[in-house]
Chain A
Amino acid sequence: MAENQQKLIHTFGALAELGSEVSQKQNFQEMMRTSLHLLLGSLAIMRGGIARYSRYGHELNMLVMRGLGDDFPLSLSLCYEDERQFLVNDLYPIEVAQAKVLPFFQIYDQSFEKKRIELLVPLVIRDEIVGVILLGEKANGEAYSGYDKEIICAMARHIGVGIAQRNMMAELERRSDENRKLYDDLRMTYKDTVKAFAAAIDYKDKYTEGHSVRVGKYSEIIAQELGLEESEVEGVAVAGYLHDVGKLTVERNIINAPYRINAKESAELNKHPAVGYEILLPIHHPYTDVPLAAKYHHERLDGRGYPDGLYDKEIPYIAKIVNLADSFDAMTTDRPYKRRRPANEVIEDLQRNAGKQFAPELVTAFCRGMLKEVTGESKDKRFRRLLGREYMEAEGIVPILKNALNGMNATSSLTFVSPD
């Protein structure tokens, strides 16, 4: 075989392999190691290394080295804009003799001389320096020819692209990480705001202290029992926290009336869902339907609720959840004119009203969650914390819950149908 032809096959084989190496998504360090082997082996260069340029530290950090020994500097500082420009301007391998003008080169001159570094190859991608390749002497002892430099240039371009790709990936990862953190911060801020609102609502209503917070928590339990996704569960909880936000505009003496309010007062109070909707609508919530939950949390499946008297399927799902949570809390806490009712009675009430006021599948989910806690199947203490241990340990609560669940399964297909 003619020597030139064999040389061509050898070097172009390396070039082709380098191209495919860089285009494969794989371990970056291995890619760089393979690349350096291919470059050194294609022209039989005794030693060399690939350094990556860090824009933050203005330094060249060695990624891989061969034959440079343990005392070769792992990081070379490029402190001056001039020398960075010098490297960017020159796409061609730079002879070490030329590079002596560079300040950084003078610092590392001794190391370079000791390891007989002959060429510096700037890796420039789109006018930006991404790294440098250092090359020592050739095995045959000859100087680098123009042909050698062309080969080196072509290979260096591939390696530069590999580093640039890696940099881009790292940058993308960093940004998405930052975005995620930013999003988390925003969500935290939002949640805090929601809780502050809930506290403000509850503060106004001295007889139902903590009502909004509890409704938020019961709503959350129902959503969890329904197996909704985490973000949906959060949305439902928020809807629970904010459902009565419209009460902020209702006069305090109506809310706190220690008697059954009259028709006029009742009309005033019944505005709170619509007012809540108006308050929540302009806010950009990370979850959908929060304003609708406030608007329709007093609607009933049988159309006898307010403000719009909607029937079953017309009522947004989230409003049905909040309605159940809201009613449950109303029955299980003392009111100005009414003591809280015993657990057994409340459960029976839920069962009786499934399909009338409440969506049966929601009552099922709620009772199931409660049963799991009462029987110890779930280690959660959500109900116990909200209602007190004694209340939850009422006699006969387990059979009543089981009965309610069985009864519900039998009647769940009989959901209310709108008369029109």
Chain B
Amino acid sequence: MEINNNVSVQTSGETAVVYANDYLNKLTGEKIERECRRQLEAGCKTLVVNFAETEIVNSIGVSILLGVIDAASNAGAKIVFSDVNNDTIELFEMLGLTKHVTVS
């Protein structure tokens, strides 16, 4: 596990796992988006965002995740949201985020 600017990341080959933690819901969540973009620029082909430590996602969090989705699609990378709790899965479905990502 690596820590870049307070964001935890794990990389193996062309896969990177970025941990969303609880930063996502504030302006500081932009650093998660920056880290994801950095991984994509470095050649990551499968980007995993891990929500194990994320209890809820608010509008700012959604906006940041949309930025991540946009960046991944521009880079031609696959994106996976992992360890998402049920409430958050419902939210992602309702808002249409699940059309762009695989939720596991």
Q: Please report A residues at the B interface, Cβ cutoff 8 Å.
A: 1, 3, 6-7, 10-11, 13-14, 17, 30, 33-34, 36-47, 66-67, 138-142
Stretch at the interface among B2-10, B13-21, B94-102: B94-102
Inter-subunit contact B59/A10 (CB<8 Å): yes
> Which residues of the other chain, A, contact B97 by a CB distance below 8 angstroms?
44, 139
Instruction: Report the separation of the CA atoms of residues A43 and B58 in the bound assembly, to the nearest whole angstrom.
Output: 11
Chain B positions 40-63 with a Cβ under 8 Å from a chain A Cβ: 58-63
Inter-subunit contact B90/A138 (CB<8 Å): no
> Which residues of the other chain, A, contact B59 by a CB distance below 8 angstroms?
10-11, 13-14, 17, 37-42
Contact flag A67-B67 (CB < 8 Å), given A1-B90, A14-B58: yes
Q: Please report B residues at the A interface, Cβ cutoff 8 Å.
A: 27, 30, 58-64, 66-67, 69-70, 87, 90-91, 94-97, 99-100
> Which residues of the other chain, A, contact B70 by a CB distance below 8 angstroms?
46-47, 67
Instruction: Report the separation of the CA atoms of residues A16 and B60 in the bound assembly, to the nearest whole angstrom.
Output: 13
Inter-subunit contact A13/B66 (CB<8 Å): no
> Which residues of the other chain, B, contact A34 by a CB distance below 8 angstroms?
27, 60
Residue of B66, B70, B91 contacting most chain A CB atoms (<10 Å): B66
> Which residues of the other chain, A, contact B62 by a CB distance below 8 angstroms?
40-42, 44
- The 19 listed contacts between A and B (C-beta, < 8 Å) are A1-B87, A6-B87, A13-B58, A17-B58, A37-B27, A40-B59, A40-B62, A40-B63, A41-B59, A41-B60, A41-B61, A41-B66, A42-B62, A43-B95, A44-B66, A44-B96, A45-B66, A46-B70, A142-B96
> Which residues of the other chain, A, contact B63 by a CB distance below 8 angstroms?
36-38, 40-41, 66
Instruction: Report the separation of the CA atoms of residues A170 and B27 in the bound assembly, to the nearest whole angstrom.
Output: 25
> Which residues of the other chain, B, contact A13 by a CB distance below 8 angstroms?
58-59
Inter-subunit contact B27/A33 (CB<8 Å): yes
Instruction: Report the separation of the CA atoms of residues A141 and B30 in the bound assembly, to the nearest whole angstrom.
Output: 24
Contact flag A140-B90 (CB < 8 Å), given A13-B59, A30-B27: no
In the complex formed, the residue of A with least CB distance to B97 is A139
Give the residue of B58, B69, B100 whose beta carbon is less than 8 angstroms from that of A41.
Answer: B58
> Which residues of the other chain, A, contact B60 by a CB distance below 8 angstroms?
17, 34, 37-38, 41
Instruction: Report the separation of the CA atoms of residues A3 and B91 in the bound assembly, to the nearest whole angstrom.
Output: 8
In the complex formed, the residue of B with least CB distance to A44 is B95
Residue of B59, B60, B70 contacting most chain A CB atoms (<10 Å): B59
> Which residues of the other chain, B, contact A140 by a CB distance below 8 angstroms?
95-96, 99
> Which residues of the other chain, A, contact B64 by a CB distance below 8 angstroms?
37, 41
> Which residues of the other chain, B, contact A33 by a CB distance below 8 angstroms?
27, 30
In the complex formed, the residue of A with least CB distance to B62 is A41
> Which residues of the other chain, A, contact B87 by a CB distance below 8 angstroms?
1, 6
Report the minimal beta-carbon distance from A33 to chain B, rounded to whole angstroms.
6
Besides A17-B58, A41-B59, 8 other A-B contacts (C-beta < 8 A) = A1-B90, A6-B94, A17-B59, A30-B27, A44-B66, A44-B97, A45-B66, A67-B67
Inter-subunit contact A141/B99 (CB<8 Å): yes
> Which residues of the other chain, A, contact B91 by a CB distance below 8 angstroms?
6, 10
Inter-subunit contact A46/B58 (CB<8 Å): no
Report the minimal beta-carbon distance from A39 to chain B, rounded to whole angstroms.
8
Inter-subunit contact B58/A138 (CB<8 Å): no
Report the minimal beta-carbon distance from B24 to chain A, rounded to whole angstroms.
10
Instruction: Report the separation of the CA atoms of residues A42 and B59 in the bound assembly, to the nearest whole angstrom.
Output: 5
Report the minimal beta-carbon distance from B34 to chain A, rounded to whole angstroms.
13
Report the minimal beta-carbon distance from B55 to chain A, rounded to whole angstroms.
14
Instruction: Report the separation of the CA atoms of residues A393 and B15 in the bound assembly, to the nearest whole angstrom.
Output: 85
Report the minimal beta-carbon distance from A411 to chain B, rounded to whole angstroms.
69
Report the minimal beta-carbon distance from B14 to chain A, rounded to whole angstroms.
24
Instruction: Report the separation of the CA atoms of residues A41 and B69 in the bound assembly, to the nearest whole angstrom.
Output: 13
* Interface pairs A-B: 6 shortest CB-CB: A140-B96, A41-B59, A41-B62, A41-B63, A44-B95, A14-B59
